[in-house]
Amino acid sequence: MGRASNARQRLMDAVMELIWENSYGAVTIEAICDKAGVKKGSFYYFFDSKSDLAAAALKSSWDDRKPAMDALFSPTTPPLERFLKFFQGVYKRQVEIKRTCGQVLGCPIFTLGSEVCTQDPKLVKTIEQLLKNYIHYFENAIRDAHARKLISAPDAACKARLLFAYFEGALTQARIQNDPGLLKELPQRAMELLGYETRVRAA
Amino acid sequence: MGRASNARQRLMDAVMELIWENSYGAVTIEAICDKAGVKKGSFYYFFDSKSDLAAAALKSSWDDRKPAMDALFSPTTPPLERFLKFFQGVYKRQVEIKRTCGQVLGCPIFTLGSEVCTQDPKLVKTIEQLLKNYIHYFENAIRDAHARKLISAPDAACKARLLFAYFEGALTQARIQNDPGLLKELPQRAMELLGYETRVRAA
DNA sequence: AACTTAGTTTACTAAATAGTCAACTATATT
DNA sequence: AATATAGTTGACTATTTAGTAAACTAAGTT
């Protein structure tokens, strides 16, 4: 009942895009409203603040992405291939983003987390949860690879942390230097980090 | 001649601290002036904008830190020991920062770079240069270690990129999660990444 | 048709912020 | 002592921004 609307979703889409392309602090509520084609009154009808919107948008975009991640890290795929496909996808995606919007944008969760972590405890809690989700995919695949004796990684959690830190570090550096080339080696380096020493065929 | 003043330096100190503890976007010129004990008129006497100040402050703080880096990465120290000391120092420093200001702050250059890279080309050029400086220390030490047959790293530049990405990734994650514990393993993991498999004595 | 609910719109206020300017002050030079 | 130089101050303007409130509108419900 009442009036139908997708303004809430449009606001979440807009804020994600604006934060990713710029930064949290540089994005104003007016800019979000303009991009979403929503008046400010409606903004405050749906959300209390930019922080509130950002938290909702992050959760929502994770819900959107989760099925693809579940498919990529499916137990039906050999564990090391999961990583290969994942990192090749990351590279391809960043190349594409640079082509379409002129900038490598990296990982919005990590960049945003690093920006707001000292100022917005509630938002950062959401971010921590999402980052942990990613690490769990990694850890799970590593444990699996170890069990199948493809690699030796008795401490899967540790290896997952290592790989994730490298991954996010490289992605952020690519953003800073606006150079997707830095990510081309991601699949190869990841295999090496995991202790799988064979040559990987080019992406 | 004229009037003596350290206001310029006080402004640079203030902006570095504020950006590190908060974020670039969250720091206002008024807040910088307050912290530095400088009136806004004086701010604009020395600098054109926050961006201008930030760039100057970054360069200046690098000039301050450079002697310590040169000492740490001195050729008189065995190459792998340089990394050990460096990463142990990073861990100790972040623990100390958390103790004194309640938050792990990570690397101000990396965090700032990731925040402003799409919006402030001039500032990001400065940042890129500083990051490259660090990578050069890494690369140099790796080349040295390889030459001395301590490790096998035929492509020193590649290993340096890898190690740096891991390092900054871990530091940023520690900031986001406000957990210096994530950095305790830094020296050990770094040695492993470098292909030096022996146990490291605890920091 | 009257009513309720959900969402929209416009116009507004109050505060924060960037940036300017002209008068002022302390120091060094001649 | 006069003057030039380097830096300081406070008061000001103009803009941007967050946030509010009340009237309005489109749909479903009875």
Segment B100-129, tens digit of pLDDT: 999 999 999 999 999 999 999 999 999 999
Closest CA to A173 of B172, B104, B17: B172
Segment A152-187, tens digit of pLDDT: 999 999 999 999 999 999 999 999 999 999 999 999
Segment A47-82, tens digit of pLDDT: 999 999 999 999 999 999 999 999 999 999 999 999
Is the confidence at residue B200, as pLDDT, over 60?
Answer: no
The pLDDT value recorded for residue A199 is 52
C-alpha distance across the termini of chain B, in Å: 50
Segment B123-164, tens digit of pLDDT: 999 999 999 999 999 999 999 999 999 999 999 999 999 999
The secondary structure of residue A119, as a DSSP letter, is: T
- Average pLDDT over every residue of A124-148: 98
Give residue numbers, 5 to 24 of B, with CB < 7 Å from strand D.
5, 7-8
Q: Which residues of A touch B116 (CB under 8 A)?
A: 23
Protein-covered nucleotides on strand D (Cβ within 7 A): 4-11, 16-22, 25-29
Which among B103, B119, B176 has the least Cβ separation from residue A127? Answer: B176
**Percent of chain A topping pLDDT 70:** 97
Is the confidence at residue B203, as pLDDT, over 50?
Answer: no
What is the residue whose two structure tokens read 């602090």?
A25
Mean pLDDT computed over every residue of chain A = 96
- Average pLDDT over every residue of B178-199: 91
Round to whole Å and give the CA distance between B44 and A16.
34
Does the nearest atom of strand C lie within 7 Å of B154's Cβ?
no
Radius of gyration in angstroms for the set of CA atoms belonging to chain B, rounded to a whole number: 19
3-state helix, strand, coil in chain B (%, to 5): 70, 0, 30
Half-sphere exposure (Cβ direction) of A141: Cα atoms closer than 13 Å: 30
The secondary structure of residue B25, as a DSSP letter, is: T
Q: Which residues of A touch B158 (CB under 8 A)?
A: 185
- Average pLDDT over every residue of A96-101: 98
pLDDT bin (cut points 50, 70, 90) of residue B198 is low
Length of chain A: 203
Is the confidence at residue A28, as pLDDT, over 70?
Answer: yes
Does the nearest atom of strand D lie within 7 Å of A23's Cβ?
no
Are B73 and B85 spatial neighbours (Cβ–Cβ below 8 Å)?
Answer: no
Does the nearest atom of strand C lie within 7 Å of B28's Cβ?
yes
The pLDDT value recorded for residue A2 is 82
Dihedral Cα A161, A181, B191, B174, nearest 10 deg: -40
pLDDT bin (cut points 50, 70, 90) of residue B199 is low
3-state helix, strand, coil in chain A (%, to 5): 70, 0, 30
What is the residue whose two structure tokens read 């400088």?
B38
DSSP string computed for B54-122: HHHHHHHHHHHHHHHHHHHT-TTS-HHHHHHHHHHHHHHHHHHHHHHHSS----HHHHHHHHHTTT-HH
Closest CA to B134 of B174, B161, B153: B161
Burial code (b: 16+ CB inside 10 Å, e: under 16) for B130-152 equals bbeebbebbbbbbbbbbeeebbe
By the 10 Å C-beta count (0-12 exposed, 13-18 middle, 19+ buried), B195 is classed as middle
The tokens for A17 are 């895009």
